[in-house]
């Protein structure tokens, strides 16, 4: 394509894309604008209404733009303006509180944006491997062909029109040639030959399109392209080059009169649109990940574009380097044999050059020795690729985007498409600032970092998984309504979340980018915890005031118990991170006092499900009180008072007895008495099983070391009737199934040897202890 442009020397180049981006074309000459990048169009104030036009380095549109910019040739985009495309999409979508964007705003790891609702407007620069471009070869009847599948359907736009059928012209040509893989046919017929004239491709598209009636949106797009071409000739340009999807070529060869096109374009709906460049990733170009105009192997085509000489040898050498980086043994001999195999497969299959299929089979058979896992690694890192583009500082951005870029540079946190782990030591100022940035971004809905379990122990450690996704730019544009800097936006968003959760008037009437508003006291305390993690001192007093008000009005003890752990953690974070947390202590003290006072009433009249739910709250509060030494005794006293009641649900009674035993508040003899009483013949077997489940939940070591308790359970079990045993078996299975395998083996060994109940935890068996004593004396050198 570039050679043809050099030969033709056009006066102007027209590119299939939104005309609103004409003012951004000059940035293509900036070396800091590195593909893959995308044009982003969005409606101000409604960033969720947006669309992307991606470009890769091997995209014909991108190469045509770079050629024209270097040569000083004017460049214009010629597709239907985004102001109409986004307005049309809004008109066809049902109203909702949060309309979906043109791309998926929060895809999971490994996914890409969804195609636009109209099937075409969000993918104007087609990126399939069959794309080519050609200059105007002598007048308005010539256009630039490329391979692009366009939808087929009626043009009347009626409500009862037939469903749109998406066609793949390259697929139809490949099928006619006897190929079942369109990309392979394109490689054999065009890419690897290198001598296919553009006129031949245009004629092939005309044959495929024969008898086709474009649907309404497609007809408008092609009408606008013809209109742009007429404008170029009217402006005095004689040699016009058009870069577009080959599907459009038959519609652009003959411009015809302007009146029908003007009528088709008259009265189109409009919205105000802003455009900018944003970084893109090769993962988002892969059609397998959901982007309709993508390709399955962008990394492969990038390699072919960058390494025209000996591409097979260079590809396999790079694959060997990737495998060596993973400590897999791959030698130069492997690479040589893989090259021979790939070339031999191409000869056997009658291909002019080995393609991706041949090199993949060579990698699998020779470099990976038949193992599929390394092949998947090559697929992810090389065939798809993990490249993230970049845009220069001169690119139009909202202030929030620019502030984040500055912070990323200062904190040395470069956005990357590749998922990577980040371990932080909060005792270091740089790591502490990184943590605060990631937490603040999470509050405004930009989930660049996902928290994971920290390696090692200590509250000063924090671990994240980082992965930058292109749709985060939409999230930043949306969050810019809250502030011009990341801290300001996060503070405003927190205040709004709290106001919405409290029923007070807020700026927006629905959930914002950080998710739904807190509706319970526990969710509200979770917001306070996030405020401390993000170091938002201006938002924290507002949150604490709302918590205090909500807690004073909430009489449900379970709500208070659910809220306490987050506040206790937040109080600890205030110490570890050096974040001021004034006011937290008073709220924590008040909540705990009310929990202790209301616990007795909360455990009354519980069914099985309610008892299980309450048990989770009791465990969470007990773990939190462990961080509050000043209130530990009061909490244990409340538990002991409740545990002495005879009307407790077995699950609650057993768990409270275990907590008090572990805390040293009650002796083992009293626990044995309580267990014996709960397992007496007068109690239903299910009640006894529930007591055992509550007492033993979490660990079976107590039964390993206390033969007396094990004997009580053993005696109770052996005394059950067959019918009663069947009834309690599910409960017992759930209890003992939660123990670790070594614990279960030790308990089973003691029972099978008849040791259960013979000795207590404090008694010693001299005969069993003699070998151990003799060994210790030998080590000490004693006789």
Residue 530, domain member (yes or no): no
Residue 614, domain member (yes or no): no
Cβ burial of 266 (10 Å; 0-12, 13-18, 19+) is exposed
Q: What's the CA gap between 247 and 174, in Å, rounded?
A: 15
Q: What's the CA gap between 446 and 206, in Å, rounded?
A: 46
Residue 392, domain member (yes or no): no
Residue 440, domain member (yes or no): no
Cβ burial of 664 (10 Å; 0-12, 13-18, 19+) is exposed
Q: What's the CA gap between 128 and 58, in Å, rounded?
A: 10
Q: What's the CA gap between 544 and 585, in Å, rounded?
A: 11
Residues 329 and 282 both lie in one domain: no
Smallest CA-to-CA distance from 241 within 53, 71, 123 is with: 71
At which of 264, 279, 294 does a domain end?
294
Residues 232 and 154 both lie in one domain: yes
3-state DSSP call for residue 1?
coil
Contact 136, 240 (CB under 8 A): yes
Residues 199 and 147 both lie in one domain: yes
Residues 259 and 363 both lie in one domain: no
> So what's the pLDDT on residue 727?
73
Contact 40, 277 (CB under 8 A): yes
Domain that holds residue 347: 299-385
Residues 229 and 257 both lie in one domain: yes
> So what's the pLDDT on residue 756?
55
> So what's the pLDDT on residue 491?
93
Residue 632, domain member (yes or no): no
> So what's the pLDDT on residue 412?
93
What tens digit of pLDDT does each residue of 692-736 get? 778 777 666 666 666 766 776 777 777 767 777 777 777 777 777
Does the pTM surpass 0.85? The reply is no
At which of 338, 366, 385 does a domain end?
385
3-state DSSP call for residue 436?
helix
What tens digit of pLDDT does each residue of 281-322 get? 888 876 544 444 457 788 988 998 888 889 999 999 999 999
Rg (CA), the chain: 35
CB count in 10 Å sphere of residue 100: 14
Q: What is the bridge-based pairing of β-strands 46-55 and 37-43?
A: antiparallel
Residues 144 and 234 both lie in one domain: yes
3-state DSSP call for residue 607?
coil
Residue 404, domain member (yes or no): no
Chain centroid to Cα 311, Å, comes to 34
Q: What's the CA gap between 187 and 173, in Å, rounded?
A: 13
The DSSP secondary structure of 293-339, one letter per residue, reads: T--S-HHHHHHHHH--SSHHHHHHHHHHHHHHHTT----HHHHHHHH
Sign for the pseudo-dihedral over CA of 185, 191, 196, 202: positive
Residues 276 and 345 both lie in one domain: no
> So what's the pLDDT on residue 698?
63
Domain count, the chain: 3
> So what's the pLDDT on residue 236?
93
HSE-up (13 A, CA, CB side) for residue 65: 28
> So what's the pLDDT on residue 160?
38
Residues 679 and 766 both lie in one domain: yes
Residue 545, domain member (yes or no): no
Residue 165, domain member (yes or no): yes
At which of 259, 294, 329 does a domain end?
294
> So what's the pLDDT on residue 581?
58
For residues 557, 558, 562, 568, the Cα torsion angle rounded to the nearest 10 degrees is: 30
CA distances in angstroms from 380 to 142, 286, 289, 416, 459, listed in the order given: 40, 11, 12, 15, 35
Annotate 652-686 with three-state secondary structure: HHHHHHHHHHHCCCCCHHHHHHHHHHHCCCCCCHH
Residues 714 and 758 both lie in one domain: yes
Place of tokens 């920290």: 454
Residues of the chain with pLDDT under 70: 47, 89-167, 194-195, 286-294, 454-459, 501-519, 572-583, 629-630, 681-682, 698-706, 708-709, 712, 720, 754-764, 782-783
Residues 337 and 268 both lie in one domain: no
Residues 50 and 114 both lie in one domain: yes
Residues 94 and 240 both lie in one domain: yes
3-state DSSP call for residue 281?
strand
């Amino acid at each position: 394509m570039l050679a043809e442009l050099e030969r033709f020397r056009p006066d102007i180049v027209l590119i299939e894309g939104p005309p609103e981006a004409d003012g951004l074309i000059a940035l293509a000459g900036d070396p800091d604008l590195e593909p893959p990048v995308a044009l982003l169009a969005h409606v101000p104030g409604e960033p969720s209404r947006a669309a992307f036009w991606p470009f890769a380095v091997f995209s014909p549109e991108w190469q045509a733009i770079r050629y024209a910019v270097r040569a000083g040739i004017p460049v214009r985009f010629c597709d239907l303006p985004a102001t109409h495309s986004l307005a049309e999409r809004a008109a066809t979508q049902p109203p909702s509180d949060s309309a979906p964007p043109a791309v998926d705003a929060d895809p999971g790891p490994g996914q890409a944006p969804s195609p636009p609702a109209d099937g075409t407007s969000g993918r104007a620069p087609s990126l399939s491997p069959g794309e080519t471009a050609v200059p105007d070869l002598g007048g308005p009847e010539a256009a630039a062909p490329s391979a692009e599948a366009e939808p087929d359907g009626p043009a009347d736009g009626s409500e009862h029109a037939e469903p749109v059928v998406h066609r793949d012209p390259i697929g139809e040509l490949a099928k006619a040639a006897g190929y079942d893989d369109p990309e392979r046919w394109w490689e054999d017929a065009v890419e690897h030959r290198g001598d296919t004239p553009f006129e031949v491709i245009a004629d092939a598209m005309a044959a495929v399109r024969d008898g086709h009636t474009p649907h309404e949106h497609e007809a408008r797009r092609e009408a606008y392209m013809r209109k742009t071409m007429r404008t170029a000739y009217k402006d005095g340009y004689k040699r016009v080059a058009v870069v577009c999807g080959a599907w459009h070529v038959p519609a652009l060869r003959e411009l015809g009169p302007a009146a029908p096109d003007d009528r088709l374009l008259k009265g189109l709906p409009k919205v105000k649109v802003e455009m900018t460049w944003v970084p893109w990733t090769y993962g988002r170009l892969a059609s397998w990940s959901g982007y309709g105009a993508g390709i399955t192997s962008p990394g492969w085509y990038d390699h072919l574009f960058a390494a025209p000489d000996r591409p097979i040898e260079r590809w396999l050498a790079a694959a060997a380097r990737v495998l060596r980086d993973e400590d897999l043994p791959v030698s130069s001999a492997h690479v040589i044999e893989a090259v021979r195999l790939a070339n031999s497969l191409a000869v056997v299959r009658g291909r002019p050059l080995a393609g991706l299929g041949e090199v993949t089979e060579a990698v699998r058979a020779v470099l990976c020795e038949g193992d599929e896992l390394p092949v998947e690694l090559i697929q992810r890192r090389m065939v798809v690729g993990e490249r993230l583009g970049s845009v220069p500082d001169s690119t139009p951005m909202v202030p929030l985007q620019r502030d984040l870029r500055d912070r990323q540079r200062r904190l040395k946190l470069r956005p990357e498409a590749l998922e990577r782990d980040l371990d932080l030591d909060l005792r270091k100022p740089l790591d502490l600032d990184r943590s605060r940035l990631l937490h603040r971004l999470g509050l405004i809905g930009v989930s660049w970092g996902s928290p994971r379990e920290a390696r090692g122990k200590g509250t000063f450690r924090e671990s994240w998984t980082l992965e930058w996704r292109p749709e985060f730019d939409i999230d930043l544009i949306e969050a810019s309504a809250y502030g011009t800097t990341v801290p300001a936006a996060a503070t405003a968003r927190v205040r709004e979340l709290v106001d919405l959760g409290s029923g007070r008037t807020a700026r927006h009437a629905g959930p914002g980018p950080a998710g739904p508003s807190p509706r319970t006291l526990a969710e509200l305390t979770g917001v306070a915890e996030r405020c401390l993690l993000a170091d938002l001192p201006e938002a924290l007093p507002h949150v604490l005031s709302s918590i205090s008000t909500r807690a004073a009005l909430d009489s449900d003890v379970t709500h208070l118990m659910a809220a306490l752990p987050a506040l206790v953690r937040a109080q600890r974070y205030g110490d570890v991170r050096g974040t001021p947390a004034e006011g937290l202590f008073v709220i924590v003290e008040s909540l705990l006092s009310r929990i202790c006072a209301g616990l007795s009433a909360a455990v009354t009249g519980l069914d099985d499900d309610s008892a299980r739910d309450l048990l989770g709250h009791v465990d969470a509060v007990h773990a939190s009180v462990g961080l509050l030494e000043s209130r530990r005794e009061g909490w244990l006293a409340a538990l002991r008072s409740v545990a002495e009641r005879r009307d407790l649900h077995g699950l609650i009674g057993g768990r409270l007895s275990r907590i008090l035993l572990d805390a040293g508040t009650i002796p083992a003899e009293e626990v044995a008495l309580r267990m014996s009483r709960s397992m007496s013949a007068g109690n239903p077997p299910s009640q006894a099983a529930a007591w055992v489940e509550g007492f033993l939940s979490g660990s079976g070591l107590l039964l390993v070391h206390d033969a007396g308790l094990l004997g009580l359970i053993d005696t109770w079990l052996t005394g059950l009737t067959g019918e009663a045993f069947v009834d309690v078996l599910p409960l017992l299975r759930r209890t003992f199934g939660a123990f670790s395998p070594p614990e279960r083996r030790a308990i089973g060994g003691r029972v099978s040897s008849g040791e259960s109940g013979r000795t207590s935890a404090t008694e010693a068996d001299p005969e069993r202890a003699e070998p151990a004593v003799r060994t210790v004396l030998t080590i000490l050198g004693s006789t």
